[in-house]
Amino acid sequence: MCDDFTDLAGQDTLARKTLGGGLTRRQFAALGPGAAALAACQALPEGPLAESDLAERPVSIQMGGAAQAPVADGFFVHPAKGAHPGIVMWPDIAGPRDAFKAMARRLAAAGHAVLVPNQYYRNAPAPVLDSFAQWRTPEGQEKLKPMIAAITPEGTLADAAAFVAFLDGQDAVDKARGVGACGYCMGGPFAVRTAVAVPNRVKAAASFHGAWLVGPEPHSPVNLLDRTQASFLFAIGRNDDEKAPGDKTALKQAADKAGRLAEVEVYPADHGWCVPDSPVYDAAQADRAWGRLLALFGKL
């Protein structure tokens, strides 16, 4: 779904409306992906805290106990004072970049300690790509596809456990409260697997336009909810729902069977709408989804 829909949806959205305060499609393209992404990220509203009230740094996380184990890189941001619920924010298919730093700062400003891990750490440090638009180029796809293939469900479970352990080792994280996870596009199933990896710590998980959530495989997220102790939010894009209309029902039924609270909703927006450098970014619907995320994490 990540690569099936976003290009077509982006072309359709750009054809239907102007972007960036009156820019035409041609003018928007002329800005280049970096400028457009930066403008969108800068437009994100702040939370109760300003950026000057936050502390942030790049981090390196040892993945496993052996000295020769790989090291994952990430971005960690939190309120400068106090201890707060820890959050693992999984990026979309284009990986960590400025758009996700902006989103993490916004979540930190709402009172959370947020780790944005590089899911491609096995192959390259972040940023692997500078913007989502680069994923839609032949060069971007050639670069990412072997990295995507290196990520397995089992590997994600191990990664998630290491990232939660990192959060629990930070003074900025309140260990008396639950950990949350959120994921976008390919990060959606990663958020669910985070709840599976450390069920006694991860109490809330959210998927936004998540891919590959429903399938017959034992490791499919829909088949894992009974191994968690979390509440869930599944925000589904309308074109994802058009292609797989049964997914929303399957997710809700699985949550009910597992005894897990789950909010499942199809949004009137296309796959990728929550990420500010996506060509289908929808500010109004992204803010509505953000509000539901804050409500979910408010229970940690």
Name the residue with tokens 């993945």: 63
| Strands ordered across the beta sheet of 86-90 | 54-62, 71-79, 113-117, 86-90, 179-184, 202-208, 231-237, 262-267
- Of 129-133, 177-181, 187-191, give the lowest mean pLDDT range: 129-133
CB 281 within 8 A of CB 273: yes
Instruction: Give the distance, in angstroms, between the CA of residue 140 and the centroid of all CA atoms in the same chain.
Output: 19
Other C-beta atoms closer than 10 Å to the C-beta of 70 total 11
Q: What is the dihedral of CA 247, 279, 90, 61, to 10 degrees?
A: 160
CB 202 within 8 A of CB 194: yes
CB 202 within 8 A of CB 209: no
pLDDT band at 66 (very low <50, low <70, confident <90, very high): low
So what's the pLDDT on residue 136? 87
pLDDT band at 50 (very low <50, low <70, confident <90, very high): confident
Tokens of 60: 């390196």
- Of 21-25, 96-100, 276-280, give the lowest mean pLDDT range: 21-25
Averaged pLDDT of the chain: 88
Name the residue with tokens 């949350």: 180
Give yes or no for residue 13 having a pLDDT over 70. Answer: no
Give yes or no for residue 241 having a pLDDT over 70. Answer: yes
So what's the pLDDT on residue 67? 63
Give yes or no for residue 99 having a pLDDT over 60. Answer: yes
So what's the pLDDT on residue 102? 96
So what's the pLDDT on residue 34? 46
So what's the pLDDT on residue 64? 75
Name the residue with tokens 């959370």: 112
Return the CATH architecture of domain 2-62+69-297: 3-Layer(aba) Sandwich (3.40)
Give yes or no for residue 25 having a pLDDT over 50. Answer: no
pLDDT band at 22 (very low <50, low <70, confident <90, very high): very low
So what's the pLDDT on residue 228? 98
Q: What's the pLDDT tens digit per position in 28-48? A: 343 344 444 545 555 566 678
- Of 68-77, 163-172, 275-284, give the lowest mean pLDDT range: 68-77
Identity of the amino acid at 162: A
| For residues 66-72, average pLDDT | 78
Query: Considering only CA atoms, which of 13, 5, 4 is closest in space to residue 279?
Result: 13
Return the higher-pLDDT residue of 1 and 294.
Answer: 294
| For residues 206-220, average pLDDT | 96
Give yes or no for residue 62 having a pLDDT over 50. Answer: yes
